[in-house]
Amino acid sequence: MTAEVAILNRLVVALAADSSIAIEAKNGLKIYESAKKIFPLSDSPSSPANYHSVAIMVYGNANCGDVPWELVIQLFRHHVKKLGTLDKLVDYFKVFKDYVQDESGLITQEMSSTMIQRYSKEYLQKMSTEVKKSVKDLLEKNEEVTDDSITQIFCTIINNKHDRLMNDVKKIEHFTDEDMQWVCSIINNQFNNLAKGLEALLAILDRESIDKLKEILCMIHVKDEMIKSQRAGIVFAGFGKEDKFPVLIAAEVEYPVHNKVKYRVTEYVDLNIKPSPTPSGDVNEVSAKIIPFAQSRHEVHAFLHGLDLSLQEDLKGYLDGAAEGVIDKISAKLRFVHKDVIPNPDHREKITTYIDQMLHEMIEKALFNLNEMSKDKFSDRILEVVNFMPREEVAELASFLVKMAKTSNKLRGHETIRGPVDIVVITKADGLKKHTGKSGGCSCSINFNHG
């Protein structure tokens, strides 16, 4: 597990990350405390024309396909030296994406095909597990389980996933119809190998369901459907040559598909862009941002908003459930109301519908007011202070938030966020420096020995 935080104001961007890495081995979970997760693109500003005030931070899956991200970034460092300082921070992200796909030589058709088959097989196994769980639930209820009921369970799962992928999940923009066809050719040619061990389960399906299953396996690779175990996070932060204020862009990345990286941008903060005025004409002068990544989200959310993220999500579920309970009781009571009071049954239905709508509107308004109160009493006040913090204080805050996530993780019995916290600060004037704490301030040497 990983805890990482980025903090930006108009002076500085600070990145902080723990240094643990967890590896699933056959004999259990192995945790090491010497992982590097923040990589500067330049070692020192000795050559201004080729200096890059940019750092890359990574989390999640350590590999792009079968290639370690650390190696990819090392090679990219050498590549970007030839280009000189780029105009915009976002240009670094674009060049990095193009380098990984087209110029690094690290991604091959063979690797992409292997990844697609591996995760298609994993997806089929998960669907099989869903079927088994549903069958188990029936047995626990002492209901009869037949071939027909198993077929119905499996077909329902297939139809629900197919409909969702077809109608609700967008295709990732940079994938073309040609990419989709290439994936489908692999699925169709290798389907029997992918389904090994599941022959008995697939034998109960008709041709239409088998075809839908194949379409599902094609769509998961080119649509915005991320496989959690294969997801990596890549964060670019710093300044391009023309950026006066900090910029951050973050993306979730998976395995390559048809020599293209499967990714989606999750965060884009550019403090060079002036905020739009509110409907009242006011402009928010607070530009500071605190952005958590990986396993620090809940703790940072609680720090910023005064309420744990999971508790906030549970609260909405609880209120919705309570509203449904109230409606059920009202509906039951109305059925016994004397016809002289409400003579028309349709009127009773309309009353129930109106009360249901009113309750849910009240819940939405209450949650909106809760968010507004959270902003007014917590996040806005914190960010107003962060907006004017000097770089040492921003670095200390980033370190504190990662350590808070680390302590929370430990108290909950996990202890998977470990090791020292690495902190980097980047300013327009001084470039990128490693923060060594209040006593040491920001060191001038930031050679992390990444090649």
pLDDT tens for the chain, residues 1 to 451? 789 999 999 999 999 999 888 777 667 777 778 889 999 998 665 555 568 899 999 998 888 877 889 999 999 998 998 888 899 999 999 999 999 887 777 878 888 899 899 989 999 999 999 999 998 988 888 888 888 889 999 999 999 999 999 999 988 888 889 999 999 999 999 999 998 888 888 888 899 999 999 999 999 999 887 766 678 899 999 999 999 999 999 999 988 888 888 888 999 999 998 765 555 555 455 689 999 998 888 889 889 988 887 887 788 788 888 877 877 777 777 666 555 566 666 776 777 788 888 888 888 888 888 888 888 888 889 999 999 999 999 999 999 999 999 888 888 877 778 888 999 999 998 888 888 865 445 554 344 444 4
What residue segments make up the domains of the chain, in order of their start?
A: 3-107+227-296+414-443, 111-222, 297-386
**CATH architecture classification, 3-107+227-296+414-443:** 4-Layer Sandwich (3.60)
A 10 A CB-CB count for 441 gives 14
pTM of structure: 0.82
305 backbone dihedrals φ, ψ, rounded to 5°: -115, -5
CB 208 within 8 A of CB 218: no
CA dihedral (9, 58, 105, 177) positive or negative: negative
CA distance 164 to 41: 41
